[in-house]
Amino acid sequence: MDGYAWVTIIEIFLTEGNACFTSSQVEINKIKTGSSFYQECRCDDPSSGVNLIWLDANNKTILPLRPGTKSNVYSEWLDKHTYSVYISNISKSTSGAYKCVTKHSGQTYMLTYNVEAYDPPYFVNTKENQYVISGKDGIITCEARGENDLLIKWHKEGEELEITDDEKYKVTPEGLIIKEITKEDEGVYKCSASDLDTGEGIDRDIKVEVIATPSIKELVAFPNTTPTLGESFYIECLASGVPHPEYTFRKISDMDLAETNITWQQVGNRIVFDIIQEEDSGTYECIATNRAGISTKNISIEVFLPPIITEFDNVTAVEGSTTQIVCKATGIPTPQISVTFLGEESEDQSIVWDKKNPNVNETEFYLSFLRVNRTHEGTYQCNATNEVGSIMEEMQLFVLYPPHFNTSYEKVWAWKDKSINLSCEHQSNPKAVITWRYQGNEILATDLLEINRLMADKMHSNPLIIKNKTLYGIYECTARNEFGEAKKIIHLQEGFTPPAINNVTITKITSSSVTFSIEGPNEVNGPDVIGYRSEYDEIDNYNITNIHLNRTWAKDRSFKLDRLKPNTSYVIKFAAINDVGNGPWSNIFNFVTLDRSVPNEPDWDENVEQLVASDRVLKWKPADSSDTVEFYTLKYCPIYDGLIAKSLCEEEQIEPTDEFQLNKMDANTTYYFELVAQNALGNSSAVRITVTIPAEEEPTLSSGAIAGIAILVIFLCLVLLDFLLLIWRRQGIIASCCYKKTNKREVSINSRDKKGLLKENPENIDKLKRPSNGHKEYEYNKTTGAITGKHSSV
Ligand SMILES: *[C@@H]1O[C@H](CO)[C@@H](O)[C@H](O)[C@H]1NC(C)=O
Ligand SMILES: *[C@@H]1O[C@H](CO)[C@@H](O)[C@H](O)[C@H]1NC(C)=O
Ligand SMILES: *[C@@H]1O[C@H](CO)[C@@H](O)[C@H](O)[C@H]1NC(C)=O
Ligand SMILES: *[C@@H]1O[C@H](CO)[C@@H](O)[C@H](O)[C@H]1NC(C)=O
Ligand SMILES: *[C@@H]1O[C@H](CO)[C@@H](O)[C@H](O)[C@H]1NC(C)=O
Ligand SMILES: *[C@@H]1O[C@H](CO)[C@@H](O)[C@H](O)[C@H]1NC(C)=O
């Protein structure tokens, strides 16, 4: 207490003499902070004068409000004997004892009103919306503070009973613990706090939502985790959680996060790479977040790169040295390399190859030539391939070598006024420098001058062109490059026409034509003979005129004159021709054409039987004839059992030729052939042969064996005939033996056939069977003498 204040009070008491009340009492008032307080103090005995004052907690007199002032604590006269005090806003600082004091006879009486301000309970940390996590224990926070201990009570909206501690709930000063939260626990909870002392209570509705932590269910890449460079690509993340989680992505990188370029754009739960780049390879993290928590998952991406050939350079090597072609390629996955030579492959043991992988995603291919030569020169292709692509490049291997001539000596003919090119053709790499030298001797000084001029002019040219004035002699061409040199000698000689020919023989003469054989000349001092010329005429004309018929033949043609008159004497002379010109005429030859007549008979080829067996072709030598043979007539008949089947003979006219294909003939059958040549004058005599067409795919029988078999068959037939006649005569049936024999065979071949078909029309049956087995009754009686030819069997 302030001592000074007390002095003041005592002074007041001493100056006043009346008392309004004579009792003292103490009253306690608990008042909520912020509310107001009002207390009247009545003077019960106003007769002795109203003597009342109010003292505040500090024993200061509380004064009434004066106009224009404001005070939290003031006093007021309600009427003449009621004096009241107002506290408009109670706080802790205004708490204390407020006293109404009166005095009587030196006695001080006071009514004491203890005003105790108290704070009402209030909530701290109590949010109106709260979240608990599904599946876990959670707490609904509700903390209340107050002057005194507070009683906290919980209610859930829609439920009557107060929540008390049990298996599910536990009420704590911090809040309500709910165990094993499920969706059911969602709702509005009322938290009530009451001050038992003051009776003050507060409550709050708390809306509780049950949430779930995110969980990433799927993190997938499209189209796959190995996209190809340049493709569009995305990664999708799928997470569960309540509320629905938010997605973020990041690339996990050794570098600082800041340094990782974001090369994608996020669209919802995806990150999209419009054009994926090599540096986009790596591990990506999807982060799913909501109020309940966070979940992450990683995915690794490798961007596939199509192969790139990083090295495949042209190589130049000197022949005989060791060299190497290198192809290097990179790509993801690591590429495979192959190298191909676009040239003639050879089994070259001196070429070896090797492969290396110096780094992941890099392949090197080495093609080594232990001794490179010019056949290795050319284009090489390197092909690098991996799962996502293939690339091909080409390089050139250049092989350097000294000049080389295919022939080191050449003889060249020239003659008057002929331009000539002397060729110094060679192979070399690099290109060689050509120089010419002339070694002619015995030449005129003027010519030498000319040659020197020419050489100076054409020192390095190829070919050396010599025009108009021909300078014979030996020319030497030298081709030189940095790896060596080679020489070629060209002997330029004067060429002459061929000498006269005198060895001409007639190889064939007819009524209208003559064919010559021309020999030589043996030695030509000049270019080779390219043809022959002739001049001819009837002997009677020859001396009358200078204009004769002439004919020129190329060297390799048949030297034949035709459209001659029959039975006429001719004269003819010949000359050989070369590039220089016509040689001199030969001596004159005479010949006489033949009289016209029918052709001679043609002759069979020496190997006719062998050719029939092996090639199925009938060959002959063309018939000699004064007039041209116009056609041949070939007649052919099959032979059965050694007998010519005359009714089956056929005849064909053939254009002049010397062979006839036997494809339409029956196999395993012997034929009789007759050949006649015909010209304008008539037919030659016939030439005949009997040959057997071999069975198909069977070893052929020699003609001797065929003849032997034919004889044997006929012999057996005769024996059988004899025997059968004997038997059938006894039975009274007269029939040909062969018919019967055929009949019997048919039975044995096909017993169901019996004899029916054969009886009906035996001739038809025989024709039907002819190709494989021919026994002809009607031929039997007409046999003898018909089988002719080299191997007549009868
Ligand atoms: C290799 O040689 C070829 C043919 O001469 C040429 O076209 C090409 O440019 C060369 N390549 C390189 C890389 O020099
Ligand atoms: C390269 O080789 C692969 C496999 O042998 C083939 O499929 C591809 O067509 C080749 N590519 C080229 C450009 O030659
Ligand atoms: C000689 O060479 C020239 C030029 O190369 C050419 O025009 C001419 O036709 C050639 N002559 C002969 C006979 O080869
Ligand atoms: C004429 O040619 C024949 C053969 O064609 C030959 O035998 C003969 O020796 C040659 N005679 C002369 C003189 O060349
Ligand atoms: C060759 O004969 C024809 C007529 O057949 C004639 O015109 C030509 O002048 C003759 N040639 C010679 C070189 O006699
Ligand atoms: C050829 O014919 C004879 C009788 O004509 C026969 O015995 C032989 O089996 C036949 N050969 C072939 C291969 O057909």
- Residue closest via CA to ligand 2's atom 2 equals 383
Q: Who lines ligand 1 at CB under 6 A?
A: 313-314, 396
d(CA 456, CA 437): 10
- Residue closest via CA to ligand 5's atom 5 equals 549
**Helix/strand/coil (H, E, C) string of 425-486?**
CCEEECCCEEEEEECCCCCCHHHHHHHHHHHHHCCCCCCEEECCCCCCEEEEEEEEECCEEE
385 or 13, which is more confident: 385
Question: Ligand 4 within 6 A of 346 CB?
Answer: no
Residue 540 CA, ligand 5 centroid: distance in Å:
19
Residue 516 CA, ligand 4 centroid: distance in Å:
13
Question: Ligand 6 within 6 A of 695 CB?
Answer: yes
Provide the pLDDT for residue 6. Answer: 45
- Which ligand has the shortest distance to the CA of 585? 5
Return the CATH architecture of domain 405-494: Sandwich (2.60)
743 or 354, which is more confident: 354
Provide the pLDDT for residue 502. Answer: 79
**Ligand 2 pocket: which of 309, 342, 381, 383 to mutate (most atoms within 8 A of CB):** 383
Question: Ligand 3 within 6 A of 735 CB?
Answer: no
Task: Let me know how many helices (H) and strands (E) the chain has, helices first.
Answer: 9, 54
Angle made by CA atoms 718, 724, 729, in degrees to the nearest 5: 130
- Residue closest via CA to ligand 1's atom 10 equals 314
Residue 694 CA, ligand 6 centroid: distance in Å:
10
Question: Ligand 3 within 6 A of 764 CB?
Answer: no
Provide the pLDDT for residue 656. Answer: 87
Question: Ligand 3 within 6 A of 705 CB?
Answer: no
Query: What average pLDDT does the chain have?
Result: 81
Residues 6+ apart with CB under 8 A from 380: 325, 339, 340, 341, 342, 367, 394, 395, 396, 397
Q: How far is CA 284 from CA 269, 272, 301, 314, in A?
A: 13, 12, 8, 43
Return the bridge partners of 341, or none.
380
β-pair type (650-654, 336-341): unpaired
**CB atoms closer than 10 angstroms to residue 295:** 20
Q: What average pLDDT does range 662-684 have in this prediction?
A: 89
Q: What average pLDDT does range 590-607 have in this prediction?
A: 88
- For domain 122-303, say whether CATH 2.60.40.10 is its number: yes
- For domain 307-400, say whether CATH 2.60.40.10 is its number: yes
Q: Which atom of ligand 4 is nearest to the CA of 517?
A: 5
Q: Which atom of ligand 5 is nearest to the CA of 547?
A: 14
Provide the pLDDT for residue 330. Answer: 93
Looking at CATH, the fold of the domain delimited by 4-118 is given as Immunoglobulin-like (2.60.40)
Question: Ligand 4 within 6 A of 321 CB?
Answer: no
d(CA 98, CA 725): 180
**Given a cut of 80, is residue 281 above it in pLDDT?**
yes
Please say whether the beta carbons of 55 and 41 come within 8 A: no
- Residue closest via CA to ligand 2's atom 4 equals 385
Residue 508 CA, ligand 4 centroid: distance in Å:
17
Please say whether the beta carbons of 714 and 641 come within 8 A: yes
Q: What is the pLDDT of residues 143-171, one digit of tens each?
A: 988 888 888 999 999 888 899 999 999 99
**Ligand 1 pocket: which of 396, 429, 431 to mutate (most atoms within 8 A of CB):** 396
Q: Who lines ligand 2 at CB under 6 A?
A: 383, 385, 390, 392
Q: Which atom of ligand 5 is nearest to the CA of 551?
A: 1
b (16+ CB within 10 A) / e for 98-119: bbbbbbbeeebbbbebebebbb
Question: Ligand 6 within 6 A of 696 CB?
Answer: no
- Which ligand has the shortest distance to the CA of 537? 5
**CB atoms closer than 10 angstroms to residue 631:** 15
Closest CA to 551 of 502, 580, 503, 518: 518
- Residue closest via CA to ligand 1's atom 4 equals 396
Where would I find the H helices in 341-443? none
Share of the chain above pLDDT 70, in %: 82
**Given a cut of 60, is residue 267 above it in pLDDT?**
yes
- Which ligand has the shortest distance to the CA of 536? 5
- Which ligand has the shortest distance to the CA of 462? 3
- Residue closest via CA to ligand 1's atom 5 equals 396
Q: Write out the residue limits of the CATH 2.60.40.10 domain(s) in the chain.
A: 4-118, 122-303, 307-400, 405-494, 503-592, 608-693
613 pLDDT band, cuts 50/70/90, is confident
30 pLDDT band, cuts 50/70/90, is confident
- Which ligand has the shortest distance to the CA of 577? 5
Residue 394 CA, ligand 2 centroid: distance in Å:
13
Provide the pLDDT for residue 222. Answer: 92
Q: Is 650 helix (H, G, I), strand (E, B) or coil?
A: strand
- Which ligand has the shortest distance to the CA of 385? 2
Residue 464 CA, ligand 3 centroid: distance in Å:
9
Q: What is the pLDDT of residues 44-53, one digit of tens each?
A: 777 767 788 8
Please say whether the beta carbons of 399 and 357 come within 8 A: no
Please say whether the beta carbons of 292 and 130 come within 8 A: no
- Residue closest via CA to ligand 4's atom 10 equals 503
Looking at CATH, the fold of the domain delimited by 503-592 is given as Immunoglobulin-like (2.60.40)
Residue 667 CA, ligand 6 centroid: distance in Å:
9
Residue 338 CA, ligand 2 centroid: distance in Å:
9
Q: Which atom of ligand 5 is nearest to the CA of 533?
A: 13
Q: In what order do the strands lie in the sheet with 529-538?
A: 549-554, 529-538, 569-578, 589-592
Provide the pLDDT for residue 628. Answer: 81
Please say whether the beta carbons of 403 and 486 come within 8 A: yes
Residue 301 CA, ligand 2 centroid: distance in Å:
27
d(CA 553, CA 531): 6
85 pLDDT band, cuts 50/70/90, is very high
Closest CA to 636 of 607, 605, 656, 663: 663
Provide the pLDDT for residue 536. Answer: 94
Question: Ligand 4 within 6 A of 506 CB?
Answer: no
Angle made by CA atoms 176, 170, 142, in degrees to the nearest 5: 20
706 pLDDT band, cuts 50/70/90, is low
User: Residue 223: is the preceding peptide bond cis (ω within 30°)?
Assistant: yes
**CB atoms closer than 10 angstroms to residue 701:** 16
Least confident of 256-270, 455-469, 596-610, 774-788: 774-788
Provide the pLDDT for residue 283. Answer: 93
**Given a cut of 60, is residue 738 above it in pLDDT?**
no
Residue 390 CA, ligand 2 centroid: distance in Å:
6
Q: What is the pLDDT of residues 437-490, one digit of tens each?
A: 777 555 566 766 776 676 666 666 666 666 656 677 888 888 999 999 999 998
Provide the pLDDT for residue 457. Answer: 65
Q: What average pLDDT does range 478-507 have in this prediction?
A: 90
H/E stretch holding 714:
helix 703-731
- Residue closest via CA to ligand 5's atom 12 equals 550
- Residue closest via CA to ligand 1's atom 12 equals 314
249 pLDDT band, cuts 50/70/90, is very high
Question: Ligand 4 within 6 A of 503 CB?
Answer: yes
Q: Is 28 helix (H, G, I), strand (E, B) or coil?
A: strand
Provide the pLDDT for residue 442. Answer: 55
- Which ligand has the shortest distance to the CA of 548? 5
Closest CA to 670 of 623, 632, 714: 714
Q: Who lines ligand 5 at CB under 6 A?
A: 549-550
**Ligand 6 pocket: which of 668, 697, 717 to mutate (most atoms within 8 A of CB):** 668
Angle made by CA atoms 452, 458, 460, in degrees to the nearest 5: 120
- For domain 608-693, say whether CATH 3.40.50.300 is its number: no
Question: Ligand 6 within 6 A of 705 CB?
Answer: no
- Residue closest via CA to ligand 1's atom 13 equals 313
CA atoms within 13 A of residue 686's CA, in its CB half-sphere: 12
Residue 469 CA, ligand 3 centroid: distance in Å:
16
**Given a cut of 80, is residue 181 above it in pLDDT?**
yes
Residue 504 CA, ligand 4 centroid: distance in Å:
8
Return the bridge partners of 74, or none.
86
**Ligand 1 pocket: which of 309, 314, 315 to mutate (most atoms within 8 A of CB):** 314
**Given a cut of 90, is residue 294 above it in pLDDT?**
yes
Q: Which residue type sits at 400?
A: L
Residue 391 CA, ligand 2 centroid: distance in Å:
7
Question: Ligand 4 within 6 A of 507 CB?
Answer: no
- Residue closest via CA to ligand 6's atom 3 equals 668
- Residue closest via CA to ligand 1's atom 11 equals 314
- Residue closest via CA to ligand 3's atom 2 equals 421
Residue 315 CA, ligand 1 centroid: distance in Å:
9
Residue 668 CA, ligand 6 centroid: distance in Å:
6
**Given a cut of 70, is residue 344 above it in pLDDT?**
yes
Closest CA to 393 of 291, 325, 309, 475: 309
Place of tokens 């103490």: 26
Q: What average pLDDT does range 218-242 have in this prediction?
A: 93
793 or 709, which is more confident: 709
Q: What average pLDDT does range 507-511 have in this prediction?
A: 85
